[in-house]
Every structure is written in structure tokens, then in C-alpha cells.
Amino acid sequence: MDVSVIVIGDELLIGQVTDTNSGFIARHIAPYGWQVREVFVIPDEREAILSAIDQAMAHSRVVLTTGGLGPTKDDITKEALCGYFGGEMRMVDSVLDNVKEIFRKRGLQLNDLTAMQAMVPTSARVIQNRVGTAPIMWFDDNVRERVLVAMPGVPFETSEMFVSEVFPQLLRKFASDVAVEHRTVMVEGISESDLATRLEPWESALPPYIHLAYLPTPGLIRLRIDGRHTDAAFLRSEVERYTAELIGLCGDRFLYSGYRTPAEILLERLTEQNLTVATAESCTGGNIAHLITSVPGSSAAMLGGVVAYSNDVKQRILGVLSHDIDEFGAVSIPVVEQMAEGVRRATGADVSMATSGIAGPGGGSAEKPVGTVCIAVSTPRGTVSHTYRFPGSRERVIDRASVTAIIMAVRNLQHK
């Protein structure tokens, strides 16, 4: 099923806000065999909204809009939709009651402007927004067999209501007799082109009901096997068989079977082995700890971390020897190993990761250019370390170093 997404808001076009809703929608619907065909990013202008709807409904049976449903005058999406689908604006008591309840829970006083959120086109079916004040509106175009669903632009509202209400209703309306299966295999330490070369003979021999997609992210490649067939049991068996073959072909580059972030994989390994973890970060500035603690339940394994940006903190808190900093520099294997071992002592953690590097854009040298990062992982079995050269911007270097450190820890735990 093809889906078109229309993202509405002036703030998106001036770079004040980044669209995350379309990406979330695409990721959520993909396992069901649905796909986002196109994404329109448009201003809060009536003609732009109407034009985008025309184009989207010409291409897709399902059109989703996000944004433009707020209480201010620049949010004109409801009026534009009313003009497109017909009917008139009316106050819906159940929506008003929902808005009042939302405000009551938040301890806020309802004003007249927000109360106008309860004005809805008579051509729409309302889906109550349990987490916000803007109602979700479902429009049926029975002549063209199309559906448009207008959702709020606030990401947490969109994600919550799309998963719990909107998409389940779309699945029921557009039921299919074609079974869909997906599996994800995660690999690291190999370029996309080298991996594609390794897999080319196998990939070329895949049957028409099996497809392989390459989904690269910094430091990782996710290989997704997609299967579609009318025989669900047969398809499930085939997808399992081809997944096992793919894992074998990836060899020692294989990291994980399933869809997880590196931090989620690490926490899974730590939990399985009843181990704890801590971090000592210089160039990554706490990003590794952030990635770990972003995972629900991380407190079961994560003890703490130290952002040791200055040499003084490296020495006083982590026990790094001053003469090693003088001799080898702060960005060096001896220093980063002592950082990893020091944070284990300070926190009592079983496993630790440490980083020290030059994220840029300045600070590099011929010997240690921008992007040089030393990473160490320490466990009761010892400490391992490596020096990397990560290309790109400061943000990219930090991201790559953080992911690489976590993967190093995962690898170390696999070889217990």
C-alpha cells in the first residue's frame, strides 16, 4: 500500500523545526508491507495545502497530513480541508470535553482560542487525541476510494496516536490477503560496497517474493529481508531460511539478528550476563552515556559516567598519569586505556568504555588529524583499545565514535 505524507508548517521550511513525523510513519508501516511513496513539505498556505492534497491523492490511496492544526491564525489546515472535502465547521462537544480534560490534567486554564480546537469540518470523522488538544480528522473520498487523515504536528502526539488508533484503523479498512514478513540482520566493520560485493551472487539468486534492502547508518549496516506471499506459513519458513543464509555469508561482520540500536544490544548483553557498565568520555562529551540511558530500563546496568574533558579531570577523577599525557598526548592509547580503567574503579562497573579524540573542526595536526579518536573498553579480563580516523563534521565524528565504542563493548562481551 502506497502512502503519501504531507507535512505542513512554515517553521519546517525555514529550518526552525525538523520533520521527524514522516520518518516515523515510514518506519512504522514498513513491516506491514506499506510504504511512503512521497513526502510533501509545504507552508501554512491554503493553495499549497490544496495542491499537495490533489497530487498526493492522485498517487496514493492513503494520504496523511501532519501539522497546521494548532489554535493560532496561521494554522489553516482544518479550513482548507473543509473546503476540499465539503461541509462546514461545527463545534463538537466530545472534542471540547477532551480539550478541557487535557488542560485540567496539565493544570492550565482553558482560553477561548484553544477551545476553538473543537471546531471540526462536518465532512470529517473525529478520532479523539488523547495526548493533545488538536483532534485527528479522518476524511473518506468514497468515489476515488481514498482516505486522508489529518494529524497534529507535535511528534509525540503523532507517534502515539498513529500507532494506537490511526494505523490500526487503516489496516482494517485496507485489509490485504498478502502475507508480509521482515527480518533484520545487523553488520559492522565493512563498507556497503564491500558487503554488496560479498552478497551479490546470493542476492541475485533470491526468488521474486524475497527482497534485500541495505540500510546504512554511521558505523552499522542493517540488512532487511522483506518477503511477500499469499502463503503465510511458506513465507515465514522461507524468510527464516534466507535469514540464516545471510547471517552465514556475513561471517565475522555479523553483529545482531533483529532491529535494535547498538545501545539496546549492549544492554541486552549486559543483562544476560548480569554485568554493569560505566563511561569515561572526552571528545564524545557524554553522548555514549546519553545513548545508553535513552533506553528504558538502562538503570539495571548503567552505573554512571564521567565527562573528563580537561586533562586535570582525567588525572584527578580517573587516575590518568600526568607523564603519560605529557609523553603521548591526551588523544592516545595509554591515556584512553587509563580512562576506561579509572572509571571502572570509580564506579565499580564490570565494563567500561572511554573515548579521547579530536572532533574538530580545529585542533588537529599532521600526526593526529581531525577525526582521530582513541577508544578503549575495559573488563575484568583486561582492556582493549584502538585508534580510529572518522571523517566528516564534528557531529558525525562524535556519533561515529559513540557507536563504535558501544559496538566494541558488545564485541568484547561476545568473546567472554
Q: pLDDT at position 71, please?
A: 79
**Residue 73: is its pLDDT beyond 80?**
no
Instruction: Tell me if the bond preceding 361 is cis, omega within 30° of 0.
Output: yes
Supply 141's cell numbers.
473520498
pLDDT at 165 over 70: yes
183: which strand partners? 225
Contact (Cβ atoms closer than 8 angstroms) between residue 155 and residue 20? yes
pLDDT digits (tens, 9 = 90+) for 233-277: 999 999 999 999 999 999 999 999 998 999 999 999 999 999 999
Mean pLDDT of the chain: 94
pLDDT of residue 172: 93
Instruction: Provide the pLDDT for residue 415.
Output: 66
pLDDT at 416 over 60: no
Given a cut of 80, whether residue 75 has pLDDT beyond it is: no
| In the block, residue with C-alpha cell 487523515 | 149
- Indicate whether 188 pLDDT > 80: yes
Query: Taking a C-beta distance cutoff of 8 angstroms, is the pair 369, 360 a contact?
Result: no
Confidence grade of residue 340 (pLDDT, cut at 50, 70, 90): very high
Report pLDDT for 116: 84
Mean pLDDT, residues 181-202: 95
Task: Tell whether the model's pLDDT for residue 306 goes beyond 90.
Answer: yes
Q: What is the mean pLDDT of residues 387-414?
A: 95
Measured on CA atoms in the order 104, 110, 114, 119, is the torsion positive or negative? positive
Q: Region 319-332: what's the mean pLDDT?
A: 97
pLDDT value at position 99?
86
What pLDDT score does 400 carry? 95
Range among 13-17, 100-104, 297-301 with highest mean pLDDT value: 297-301
Residue 241 CA to residue 79 CA, distance in Å, equals: 52
Kindly indicate the confidence band of residue 107, based on its pLDDT and cuts at 50, 70 and 90: confident
pLDDT, average across residues 99-119: 84
Q: What is the model's pLDDT at position 133? A: 87
**101: confidence class by pLDDT, cuts 50, 70, 90:** confident
Is 326 a residue whose pLDDT tops 60?
yes
Q: Are 345 and 395 in contact (CB under 8 A)?
A: no
pTM, full prediction:
0.79
The pLDDT value given to residue 33: 85
Q: Give the Cβ contact number of residue 363 at 10 Å.
A: 14
